[in-house]
Structure 1
């Protein structure tokens, strides 16, 4: 599984960071930073919730 962030869509709202702080961080410029872009399958539930929480659809999971 791979986390993909579309930085052209990101508005830095921080929903992803609130849902999965081990994997996402919003930087000082208000853009998401993916902390681990290839997490283990055991994190799929938390990551799916974080991706689904993004109001601007800037995140996706591949694989």
Structure 2
């Protein structure tokens, strides 16, 4: 599965980074950096992450 980030919804607070730091990093400017696009992610508090199963 591939992660799709809705950058307009991402709040940059870093919950995803704290849970899966191998996959996510929040930059100093609050933008989300994906280290790996293929991952099994179920939820995001801001609903900024979705999965593309194709």
Q: TM-score, normalised by structure 1?
A: 0.73
TM-score, scaled to structure 2: 0.83
Counterpart check, 1:10 vs 2:5? no
Which structure 1 segments of 5+ residues have no match?
Answer: none
Q: Distance in 2 between matches of 1:37 and 1:61?
A: 10
1:62 equivalent in structure 2: 52
After superposition, the CA RMSD in angstroms is 1.2
Q: How many residues align?
A: 53
In the TM superposition, structure 1's runs of 4+ consecutive aligned residues that sit over 4 Å from their partners are: none
Gaps of 5+ in 2: none
Q: Deviations over 1:1-53 (max 9, x none)?
A: 101111111110101001111100001110111111124xxxx2xx22xxx1x
